[in-house]
Amino acid sequence: MAKALIVYSSRTGETQRIGELIAEGIRISGHEAKVVRDKSIKKESDLDGYGAYVFGSATYHGTMMQGMKTLLFLAENAKLEGKVGAAFGAFGWSGEAPGRIFGTMENIYKMKMVKEPLMLKSSSLGGGLQIAQDYGREIAKKLDAS
């Protein structure tokens, strides 16, 4: 059984809820998933011991939240190369944050990324609950293959 760490930055709680639904999908697939707020990661060693890393941020004024930016700088030296990675986030208008997080994980950290970032306006609209859980299942499949 592999472990996944889901770290989120949320302003209204919606990105947190999406992260929790992703974790459910991972758990349904037989793996462990831990969901934490960005502020709980204080040092590189807080990222040790996981097979998958899922980072998420709300898009706020066209960019990711500051807590996620700080986490990404910290994670740059955390030896995530070759690990499974995924990105997600909630948005109101534009939704740039998940794509920027995804690009950093794929191109800077050299992680094995799950297809594309997950972008939802809400976990409760348009099948968001199922979409987020399915994204977690995709992460679990990537864990199984690695």
| Distance in angstroms (rounded) separating the CA atoms of residues 49 and 45 | 9
Across the range 75-99, mean pLDDT stands at 89
Identify the CATH number of the domain defined by range 3-145.
3.40.50.360
| Distance in angstroms (rounded) separating the CA atoms of residues 122 and 1 | 30
Q: What is the mean pLDDT of the chain?
A: 92
- Taking the CA atoms of 13, 98, 48 and 134 in sequence, report the sign of the dihedral they define: positive
pLDDT digits (tens, 9 = 90+) for 20-35: 999 999 999 999 999 9
Query: Hey, where are the domains in the chain?
Result: 3-145
pLDDT of 146 reads 82
Max Cα separation, the chain?
Answer: 39
| Distance in angstroms (rounded) separating the CA atoms of residues 15 and 34 | 15
Q: What percent of the chain has pLDDT over 70?
A: 98
